[in-house]
Structure 1
Amino acid sequence: MTSSASKFYTIFVFVCLALLLISICEVEAKVCQKRSKTWSGPCLNTGNCKRQCVDVENATFGACHRQGFGFACFCYKKC
């Protein structure tokens, strides 16, 4: 009985570690930054930029960043 319990425990620990490694690998997905295709004018409000990127361009996030002499809206998507 002790031998089978030991085998079960070993297999259980191995499966848990495998699942943990898989979840860690998925978290490290690359994110690509691209200038918004639908935003026009200077980007002065990151909240509006984020909303535009998420709602219109199906991105995961958006933010205003300096580009040249002004600010532009950039969208972030999984690569």
Structure 2
Amino acid sequence: MAKYTGFLALLICLFLVAATEIQMVEGKYCWKKSGKWNGPCQYSYKCSYHCKHYYGAKYGICKKYKPWGHKYYWAKYACYCYSPCHY
């Protein structure tokens, strides 16, 4: 009887560890460049406020990007909005 009790206790512990690991998995965030942002993006906290206000996004950050069709390789900054992905 003691062997089965120990095995059952170990099985319950493994189940609890697995259940907590499943709950800690975070969802992925999808990004989208803000179309309403004017000018260069210098401060991420302003971009974050902009994304929350206009798009209802979780947050926003200023991030480097290379404009399409531009022959020079310097990077510019743009405001990108992040929100949970909907598949």
Task: Kindly state the Cα deviation for residue 4 of structure 1 after the two structures are TM-superposed.
Answer: 6.1
Paired with 2:46 and 2:33, the residues of 1 have a C-alpha distance of 14
Q: What are the Cα deviations for residues 10-61 of structure 1, in whole angstroms up to 9, with x where unaligned?
A: 342132122133134x22x322221013322221211100111123322222
TM-score, length-scaled by structure 1: 0.68
2:37 to 36, 39, 44: 39
- Could you say which residue in structure 2 is the equivalent of 1:16? 16
Q: Distance in 1 between matches of 2:11 and 2:64?
A: 52
Q: Which stretch of structure 1 is more off in the superposition, 40-49 or 12-21?
A: 12-21
Match of 1:77 in 2: 83
Q: Structure 1 or 2: larger helix share? A: 1
Say whether residues 1:50 and 2:56 are aligned partners. Answer: no
Q: Which amino acid aligns with 1:20?
A: T
Percent pairwise identity: 27
Matched AA of 2:41: C
Structure 1 pair 55/3, CA: closer, same or farther in 2 (3 Å)? farther
Q: Distance in 2 between matches of 1:5 and 1:56?
A: 58
Q: How many angstroms apart in 2 are the aligned matches of 1:31 and 1:19? A: 23
Matched length: 77
CA RMSD of aligned residues (A): 2.5
Question: What is the identity, as a one-letter code, of the residue corresponding to 1:42?
Answer: P
